[in-house]
Structure 1
């Protein structure tokens, strides 16, 4: 459905052209959301930062999210998490929190995260299967009192979008296929985004 993340970002930016002039704060979910966030922020004349949330993957199937951890330390669990051992889950949550702290130090070492309070905030990701990571990001940001909270996703199944609609003021997703296995199946090119690229994009280079 998309050539690559650039293609997806341009389509999302077109769908959000009405935000130009509102100086939106575009918060990308690393790492795949960051190249898209850079394009969207530039197109909408906004600012770019990251919102740090980490998916908790199911044992034996790490791509399937059973929850997520947010930068503020909060944990959001799906129903499937009840099937996991408590000790395993506690270790996984601790590991993801350490990774979040490490990423913040690496990504924005000389400044604090940009405050979303009172801003039009756009949360960007390349795609979402269960919605767990995006839901955690939205729930965390809602507590910071943004003026408007928008979820912008390249691709997600309809049931995920319906769930996210209860957490965001607006959900924008150009592609919502019913048959959904993984985000990468909807991109002709879906290369891994490296940390060095994230740091470069957050620095404003394109």
Structure 2
């Protein structure tokens, strides 16, 4: 794997320095820049490339959640991973809905951070162990877990890995139209509005592997 260019965004310089210390000896990581405000990030990504942005939610000039949405609009190929102390389930899911490819808490180890960055670069939605436990707890509105066919389970797992309908069709030797039909059926069975909500619900009920 080539070096991964990483931009760190946090309003606390001590957090930035801590991340730099954790990552500096790792052969895969290359810290290209650190920012303490959203305006710096917006200016930087308009003319520079970052593979990964580690983004805090609390910034002095903009919410990290909104900044994530703006980053994805400016540079869709950039992978954004939220890096925060906030542990509310609603906040985590809002970040994913706004384009984040993962959510990590700041007490994460370098080993887990490395695994999550690798996973996100590969196209997966990643969570640290603690975050996964938070989002996997059933919501208060309990309902019957949908019954899935073997094919639906396969497609659900591939959707959670960030695969497109064309990718899934090629992997399972199906037509893209058939895959799209299965995806629509999955949304209906889970009563999900979109793929992000579908993956969240599937994680809650342990129907897919993370």
TM range (shorter): under 0.3
Higher relative contact order (CA 8 A, sep 6+): 1
User: Which protein is bigger by CA-based radius of gyration?
Assistant: 2
Structure ranking higher in helix proportion? 2
Query: TM (normalized to structure 1)?
Result: 0.26
